[in-house]
Structures are given as structure tokens and as C-alpha cells.
Amino acid sequence: MILGLSFPQIVELILKVLIFPGLAFPLLFAMIVIWFERKFLARIMLRIGPLHVGPINRTGLFQPIADFLKLIQKEIIVPDNANKFLYNIAPIAALIVASLSVAFIPYALKPDGSYWVIYYTPLSLLLILAIFTARPFIMVAAGWASNSKYCTIGAIRAALQLLAYEVPIALSLASIAIMSGTFDLAKIVEAQSSIWFMILQPIGFIVILIAMMAELSRRPFDIPFAEQEVVFGWPTEYTGAQFALIMVSEYFDLCSVTSLITVLFLGGWSGPAIPLLNDISPILSGIFWFLLKMAILTVIIIMGRGIYPRLRIDQLLDAGWSVLIPLAIIQIIITFLTAQWWLPLLGGV
Amino acid sequence: MVVDIIRPFFLGFYHAFKRTFTVKHPFVKLRLTERYRGRVVLNIDRCISCRSCVNICPNKALEMVKFEKKLVPQYDAGRCCLCNLCVEICPTMALSMIHEVEFSEYTRKGFIYTPDRFSQLPKPIAEKVVTVKILDKKRGVAHG
Amino acid sequence: MTDKSIEEKIVDSVKAKFPEDVIDAKVQRRNRVSISVKSNKIYDVGLFLRDELGFDHIASVSGVDYIDAREFEVIYYVWSMDKKVLVGLRTKIPRDNPVLKSLVDVWEGALYHERETWEMFGIKFEGHPNLSLLLLPEDWDGPPPLRKDFFLPETPQERLEEKIKRAGG
Amino acid sequence: MSVMKLSMGPQHPITGHFRFILDVDGDLVLKLEPDIGYTHRGIEKLAEKRTYLQNLPVIERVNSYCDSAGTMLGYLEVIEEVMGLEVPERAKYLRVIAAELNRIASHLYAASLFSVATGLETMLMWTINDRELILDLLEKLTGQRITYTYQTIGGVRFDMPDGFKEEALKRLDYLEKRTEDYYKMLLWNHTFQIRTKKVGILKPSDAIKLGIVGPNLRASGVKADVRKDEPYEVYDRFDFSIPTGKNGDSYDRLEVRFKEVEQSIQILRQAIKDIPKGPIKRWAPPIVPKGEAYTRVEAARGEFGYYLVSDGTMKPYRLKITPPSFRNLIALPHLCRNVPLGDIPIIYISLDLIPMDVDR
């Protein structure tokens, strides 16, 4: 007994923190998604993509690792007159903030009725919202600390973008909270055991998908990074390992965002039991469904980069305030008005 | 409007499963067309040391040097613009264009082809060769 | 009177308007008219061409260095959108004192053309808003490069000789 | 906040070999001052040191990676006008074929750059891939992919190879079919439309006043094309139209280019069908008689003007080249007044300025 935990509990905790959904999972997710993104976009563009690195011939599976190894070998350059403390702390802070939200997302249901989650709290939805909001401040700090004009413009754009997506996200989450009557992500999943919120709240789903793409700065909303306008936005001056950390944190964020949408709208781990996996443990079956839903969402989010041109910042703000927010409010109103029909459909609450 | 937003999504997805037509260059080589101008090669026996090629060269890529008791041109591939003027003006057809395209050197001096090197033909390509016709089939251009 | 072509009409009207200042005006071929004027009157002729005859589309401003005659020739090529005629408005200025009134007020498009002519020939355009180096590097200190007395070294030997000559002279 | 000076380029993802000095206030660009000359090679001076024949490969490098056949055509026109040389019929057709193929390649390249400026890399690869088809064709005809040195004084240097006609027609068919995908992916893409429509509007009166040429002028609604106004080579024998835009915005400038590709395909089909048999070259003396001429040709980016003064020797006394991009450059500071920073790349690329072409 250590800290009031029994031995199997400690093993489980270590498993959660280090393997899934802790440290190893976002890293593996980032690696696979970076590879997939490069390969898939290359195929859309009728190119081949990475080819040579990796175990299977002509797939380039280990290209992200090779890139990472190359990047950490490079010299770290700090620009003159930069605010050294903020400049150096920003990539680490970005990584920490990006990986933090994974800790509160339940990934599967254990046979004993508790959840596969690193830290269980009934207010997890609010916590994750708070974590997402913290991210642009790191961008602004990093952009300002770089002492470069392009970085400053990129940072200001990131801050402006926050105004566009933050309110629609909050409103859509409110709609979910109203429907399920709780801020607990695990309870929200259980409420969807018979029907997904994606079907009950299609408008809210579209709103949150678009707003989350803006939150992730994926094209068509990659305005803070707009290469053709501001070179690379706020991380322009970063080199080597710091740049690698920033890039990895982007994909950690993608991981937590797709997890969150899966939990909120796609019924989390719910799905028919897979025979082979279920025999080992029902947790694995839940994780399988969870990952499958995440993968589909990831493909949709990645596709944006291959098919849409980038929007301008004022167009995004316009879209955020005059399209997404009204839609989110309409969704809330519909949720209230149709309460009598959907309430019997929900389970668990 | 909604159609215009969604249509590229399906179009892009459709293209993801089309065949690419990249030539994986170092492993597979593209067969160049008959007329392709790679670099100039000299036939020393035919050269009559008339200097026509040196005079016509717009970039001063050719220069007369002594080689085996005879004045013959020396070639600087770094200056050559592959315009074919020297080949056309040569009265004895001592100069001709070959399909060699891969020439890279570590120094600028390495580009200077002394007459013996200038007159050597490159080794024939032994690797896999792809022709434009095969590529066209991949692209969906060919109709038979 | 026989039917006159549109080019001949242009020549006649310019000659009638500026009988003393037009040195030579002729039809070169179809769609081409050449008008040679005195350098002090080029602004007025340009204004007349634009306003009265409808030559509105500036095509090119070119300088030629006639070193034997010790003079520069400046030629404004202007196209007329409705007449489909290109007129070459040319004037000669002395090589020692190359000053000309700028025609940017007449044809706004001549802005960069005149700047280029200034840096390449050293012809000063009076009234031009911004006569600074356009194509040449910022630290250019040599003579205007398109003048005939500017020697362009191409091979390394020529470059070395030029360097020695400049250092010595 | 005070006005910030921002130096964009020459090391910047979109500007190429240009530098723009921007006055930025927040996200608004108040003024743009182009700084050019990074690729200045002094071709006008080089031409004075070389004979007319040696100038061929030099002149085509004014605008080499996009439109060298169209560039070269003007140079040959001006020499042949001073000489009074009549080119054989077949050579005229071959020149037109090379120039029109090059126009298609150049417009596809422009479209690819345009889509990059808006952030859509997919169209970059698609159009570059299909440009490759045209380059293959040109390689078969001329022996090179980018700088052809194909046309020469008095004709062309090589005849049409065997099987060229069939291959060309096949590829043109494919390209015409493929254009539909471009429209679906790029031009009809709603995101692209809201990004480029009403951006950088160039009024017809301003366009004429500033001396804008080529597709940029036609996108503003002015019907002006040297191929129609004073037909050179054999352009008067072909049936084609001049596409014009309505609003003169960035979207129209791209659409006009796509429509011009379609017209070029029409011209090519007619040229390949009608091409007569006969010699491809007439002997031309190396010395050009005393005289001068100014010729204009319609290259892909617009009107190329060549002014030649010959003093009766083997070398030109003065060769003035007025490339279209140099004339279109003035539109950039004109359009980039009080526009958002995000629109700068779109306006710049929509004008299709090529740094090599501007600097010569």
C-alpha cells in the first residue's frame, strides 16, 4: 500500500500515465498522424510522399521519427533582444498544455463500472475548456518574446482567432451539458449509450467541428501560421528541438480535440463488442471503438488542408460571430424545445 | 454554396486513390526523347580545328586547347546553355548532343571537360527505364 | 482628296498643331507612327497626343545612346486603344546635359520606365516623383550601364582588367 | 499603434525574388513599395556584345522558366522586320505551335502559384503535373523542356517529329477534360471565391492609364490582344476569341487565364490541322541592315515590346526589351493601398509578375 493505493491500482495508474492515454499514446498518435497526413495529402495532390525511411519498403513510416531526430540535433538559436525566459519556456509550456487535457478524458469503461481515465473529476468538461483557452496565451507570449515582426503579427492573429472560435465552442458545450445534465465527460458518454449526440445535435456537431478546426489552426483556418503572409506565424524564429516540441504539441492538441469530440458527440467507447478483443478485456474493445472514431475525425480534419484555401482573419471572425454563434444558439433553443422527445432516449442520467 | 463547399471534399478523396505519375528518379529513369539535348560530346578524329564552335558559343563555354598535336575545343559544362548552336555550325559534324543529364561536380573546375573527357561517351543506363508512353497510361492520357 | 489612312491623319494633325516644334513626323508602316519633336516641347506634344488623339496606353520608354553624335534619343512608345496605332514620340537631348521634362503627369504608367531610363542612361527627368535606383544594386557607383562608353566585363580576365583600370584611373 | 515598416522578401515564401516594403497598421497595409532588381542580369547590355544569332539563347532567358517561346518570337519578329525577311509558311505555323503550347504551360504555372498564394497546395501539384504534359510535348518538338532555343532567324530549327500531331491532339483532349476538375476544385470552391472575389479590383480606366497589358488588362474588361490588333505570324488565320473579365478582380484574372488556355487549345488544334508542307527555314544573313523597328507580340503574360536599332553590323546597336511583367508591376502599388495583409500575396500573384521578367 503506497499512498493508499493497492498494487494493482498502482500498476494501472502507471499504465495509464505512461502508456494509454498518457505519454506514449499522444506520441504514437502524433507520429502516425504526421505520417498519414503527409502520405494522404501527397496522394490527394497526386504525389507519393515520404518513401524511404521505415520498416516496410516504400512507405516512409518512420519519416516523422527521422525528422524529429534531425531537428533535435540542430542548434537552438535565440534571436537577439528576445525575451529569453519566455522564448525558451513557451515550447515546453505549449507541450504541457497540449498534453494536459488527455488526462481528463475517459477512454473506456472498466468492467467494475469505473472509467479508464487518468484523473476522474465530475467537472472535466469545464477543465478541458479552461485548458483549451490557455493555449493562445502561450502563442502570444512566444510571438512577442521572439522580437520579430512576423512572429508578433502571427501571435496577434492567434489571439484574434481565439475570439472567433471560443464562444461557439463554449455554446456548443453548453448545449451538450444541458442535454445530458452534467459536466462529467464519462456521464455524457453514458447518456449516449442508445443514441449519439451527433444525431440529436447535428448543428452543434458541425459548429464544434469547424470551431475546433479553428482552434487547432488547421486549414482553412491556419491564419496564425499563414505561410504566404507571415512566413510561419508565431513560431517563425524557433529552431531545432524547440520547433520540434511546438510541432509535436500541435498534434497532441489534435489528439485531445478528436478525443473530446468523440466523447461529446460520437458516443465515446460505445459500440458492439469485438469478439477477439472482448475476450482479453472489454476495455480493449471500448478503446478500439474510441480510436476508430478518432481516426475518422482526424481524416476529416486533415482533409481540410488538401481542399480548401485559407480564409482571411476578418472572414473567420465574421464567420465565427455571424454564422457559428447563431447556429450554436439555435441548437440550444432546439435542445430546450425538443426536450420531451429526446429525454426518454438517453440512458444513464 | 453548400455544394461548392462539399464538392472539393469528394473530389480530393477521389484523387487520393488515383495513381500518381511521379518518376522515382534515381531508381527508375525516364527515357528522354530523341531530340533531347543533354550535353555536347566531341569526336576528336573529325575535328578540323576550325574554331567555328568557339566563335559561335554565346557563353564562352568552349575554348581551344592543344591535345595530341592538335587544337581541339575544351568544354565547360558549367557555362554551357545547351543551345545547340555549336553542333549546328560544326562543318564536319564532330560535335553532337547526347542524353546525359546527370552531371554534378563538387567544384566549378570539375565542370571543365578536357578534350579526352569531352570525347568520351557516358556509360549506357543500365537501370530501369520508363518511357513517356507508360507514364501517359498512368496519367490517363493514352487512348490506345 | 483621297482617303487618308488613320496613321497619316495622326501625322497631319500633329504637324498642324505644332508646325515649328515637330522636326519630323512620318508613317513607318501600318500601325506605326514616328514623331520627332524638340526636347522642350515633348510635354505639350504628349499632352496633345493623349487628350486630342487618344493615345492613352504607354508601352515603353526607351533611350538610345548615339555616342558619335554626342546625344541621347529618348523614345516614348504609346499605343492607342481605339485607333490601334503605336506612336513613337522621340526627342534628342545633348549627351553632356541630359535633362528632359518628365511625362509621368501625362502617362502615369511611365513611372518605372522613366526610372529605368534614368538609371541606365543617366537621363534626368524633371518632375519625376522618385528618381532612385530601380534595378541596379543599392551601392552602385559606376557610370550608367547602358551608355556606350560603359564596358561590360564578361570573362574573369576582362573583369580583372576592368578592376585594375578603375583602381588606377 | 503607430505604422510598422515590414520588409517582405526577398527571403519569403511567396515573393520570389522581390522585396516589398510595406507600411502596416495592425492588419492593414497602407502602402506597398516594390523593390526589384534581385535577378537583374543586364540582358539589354549583354545583347549589345553578342551577334544576333548568339543572342537567341540569351534573349529567351528574359522569361525563361515560363514563356521562352513567346519571348523569343518578339526578338525574331523585330529582326525579320528590319531585315525584310519573309519566313516560310511551315515555320510560321511551328512557331505558333511552340508559342501557344508555352502559353498553356505558363498559364497553368500561374494558376498553380495562385492556388499557393491562397494556401491550396493541391492545385499547385495538379496544375504542375498537367504542365508536365505540355513540357513533354515541347521536349519532343524542341529538344528541351524550359529554354528551347527553337525558333531562329528565318524559321525554326527542327521540323515536327513523327507522331507529334497525334500525341499533341491526345494531350489537348486530356487537358480540356481535366479543366473541369480545376473549376470544381479551385474556381468554384466557395472558400476560394470569398477569398479572391472583390480583392484587388483594377478598373478598366485605371488599367489603361497605367499601361497594364495581357490577361490582367483583359480581366478588367478591355478587349486588347496583339494577336487580334496587329496579327503577326499566322494568327489572322485562326478562329479564336479574346476572353475578358467583368470586375477586374483577382478572381477574374485567374478565370481569364483558364479561358485563354481553352482558346489556345482551339488555336493549336487548327494549327496542327492546317499546317502546310514545305521548308522550315530560310537562310538569313548574319548582318542586319541599318534600320530600326518596334514590334509587339502577345506572350503569355502580355505584350512583349522589342525595339531594335541596327547600325548595319553583326551586333545590335541597341535592343530595348519591354517585358509585360515590368509594365504590370505598377499595378501592384496601385492595388495594394489599404488592403488587409492577407490579400497582399493574392494580389501579387494574381498579376502574375515574374521577377526574372521584371528585372531582365
Domain spans of chain C, in order of start: 6-168
Give the mutation candidate from C24, C60, C148 for the D interface (greatest D CB count, under 10 A): C60
Task: List chains adjacent to chain A, taking adjacency as at least 3 C-beta pairs closer than 8 Å.
Answer: B, D
Q: What is the pLDDT of residues D164-212, one digit of tens each?
A: 888 888 888 888 888 888 888 888 888 888 888 888 888 888 888 888 8
Min Cα separation B84/chain A (Å)? 34
How many CA atoms lie within 13 Å of C119's alpha carbon, on the beta-carbon side?
Answer: 20
User: Has residue B142 got a pLDDT over 70?
Assistant: no
Exposure of A52 by Cβ count < 10 A (0-12 exposed, 13-18 middle, 19+ buried)? exposed
D234 interfaces chain B, CB cutoff of 8 Å:
no
**A313/D340 Cβ within 8 A:** yes
Segment (H or E) for D47: helix D43-49
Among A84, B11, B43, CA closest to D183? B11
Residue pairs between chains A and B whose CB atoms are closer than 8 Å: 31
What does the alpha-carbon distance between residue A10 and residue A4 come to, in Å, rounded to a whole number? 10
Q: State how far Cα A116 lies from the chain centre.
A: 18
Residue B13 lies in a domain: no
**D37/C59 Cβ within 8 A:** no
Residue B85 lies in a domain: yes
Q: What is the pLDDT of residues C110-168, one digit of tens each?
A: 888 888 888 888 888 888 888 888 888 888 877 888 888 887 777 777 778 877 877 77
Chain B hits for A220, CB-CB cut-off 8 Å, are: none
Which amino acid is located at D283 in the chain?
Answer: W
Spell out the domains of chain D, with CATH numbers in brackets: 41-334 (1.10.645.10)
Contact A118, A103 (CB under 8 A): yes
Residues 6+ apart with CB under 8 A from D60: D68, D69, D71, D72, D147, D148, D149
CATH number at residue B87: 3.30.70.3270
Contact D179, B144 (CB under 8 A): no
- Closest residue in chain D to residue A229, using alpha carbons only: D342
Contact A226, A59 (CB under 8 A): no
Q: Give the SS3 label for residue B63.
A: strand
Write out the DSSP string of A13-24. Answer: HHIIIIISSSSH
Contact C27, C33 (CB under 8 A): yes
Q: Which of B5, B58, B82 sits opposite D54 (nearest CB)?
A: B58
A228 interfaces chain D, CB cutoff of 8 Å:
yes
Min Cα separation D338/chain A (Å)? 14
pLDDT band at residue D62 under the 50/70/90 scheme: confident
**D181/B11 Cβ within 8 A:** yes
What does the alpha-carbon distance between residue B6 and residue C100 come to, in Å, rounded to a whole number? 60
**A309/D195 Cβ within 8 A:** yes
**D344/A309 Cβ within 8 A:** no
Give the per-residue pLDDT at B93.
87
**B11/D170 Cβ within 8 A:** no
| Cα angle B73-B79-B81, degrees, rounded to a multiple of 5 | 100
**B11/D185 Cβ within 8 A:** yes
Residues in D whose CB is inside 8 Å of some CB of C read: 36-37, 40, 42, 44-46, 49, 208-212, 222, 224, 229-230, 293-294, 296, 303, 305, 307, 309, 317-318, 320, 322, 326-327, 329-330, 359-360
The dihedral region occupied by B93, where left means phi > 0, alpha psi between -120 and 50, and beta the remainder, is left
Contact D225, D298 (CB under 8 A): yes
Contact D325, D358 (CB under 8 A): yes
- Largest separation between any pair of C-alpha atoms in chain C: 68
Residue B1 lies in a domain: no
**Average pLDDT of D258-266?**
90
How are beta strands B128-130 and B28-30 bridged, if at all? parallel
Q: How far is CA A51 from CA A48, A59, A247, D26, in A?
A: 7, 5, 21, 43
Residue B104 lies in a domain: yes
Q: Residue A7's CB: how many other CB atoms inside 10 A?
A: 9
Chain A hits for D191, CB-CB cut-off 8 Å, are: 220, 308-309, 311
Residue B12 lies in a domain: no
Q: Which of D54, D126, D191 sits opposite B56 (nearest CB)?
A: D54
Give the per-residue pLDDT at A349.
47
Give the per-residue pLDDT at B89.
87
A49 interfaces chain D, CB cutoff of 8 Å:
no
DSSP tag of A323 = I
User: Has residue B126 got a pLDDT over 70?
Assistant: no
**C136/D40 Cβ within 8 A:** yes
User: Has residue D251 got a pLDDT over 80?
Assistant: yes
Cell (9 digits) for D320? 530595348
Give the mutation candidate from B20, B62, B139 for the D interface (greatest D CB count, under 10 A): B139
Min Cα separation B105/chain D (Å)? 22
pLDDT band at residue C2 under the 50/70/90 scheme: low
When divided into structural domains, chain B yields a total of 1
Which amino acid is located at C87 in the chain?
Answer: V
Residues in D whose CB is inside 8 Å of some CB of A read: 4, 6, 12-14, 24, 27, 115-122, 124-126, 129, 185, 189, 191-192, 194-195, 340-345
Q: How far is CA D8 from CA A149, D18, D332, in A?
A: 10, 8, 14
Buried b (16+ CB within 10 A) or exposed e, A207-226: bbbbbbbbbbbbbbbbbbbb
Segment (H or E) for D307: strand D302-310
Chain B hits for A51, CB-CB cut-off 8 Å, are: 24
**D139/B141 Cβ within 8 A:** no
Give the mutation candidate from D191, D346, D347 for the A interface (greatest A CB count, under 10 A): D191
- Closest residue in chain B to residue A58, using alpha carbons only: B24
Touch C-A: 3+ C-beta pairs under 8 A: no
Q: Which of A44, A48, A51 sits opposite B12 (nearest CB)?
A: A44
Q: Is the peptide bond before A220 cis (omega within 30 degrees of 0)?
A: yes
**D119/A227 Cβ within 8 A:** yes
Note the CATH architecture for domain C6-168.
2-Layer Sandwich (3.30)
Residues 6+ apart with CB under 8 A from D306: D74, D75, D77, D78, D294, D295, D296, D297, D319, D320, D321, D322
Give the per-residue pLDDT at D25.
85
Among A129, A156, A161, CA closest to A140? A156
**Average pLDDT of D13-40?**
85
Residue B35 lies in a domain: yes
pLDDT band at residue C169 under the 50/70/90 scheme: low
Contact D54, B60 (CB under 8 A): no
ipTM: 0.86
Chain C hits for D309, CB-CB cut-off 8 Å, are: 64
Give the per-residue pLDDT at A231.
83
Cell (9 digits) for C25? 513626323
- Closest residue in chain A to residue D340, using alpha carbons only: A312
* Range(s) of the domain holding residue B65: 21-139
Can you list the residues of chain A whose pLDDT is less than 70?
Answer: 1-2, 347-349
**D139/B58 Cβ within 8 A:** no
How does the average pLDDT of chain D come out, rounded? Answer: 87
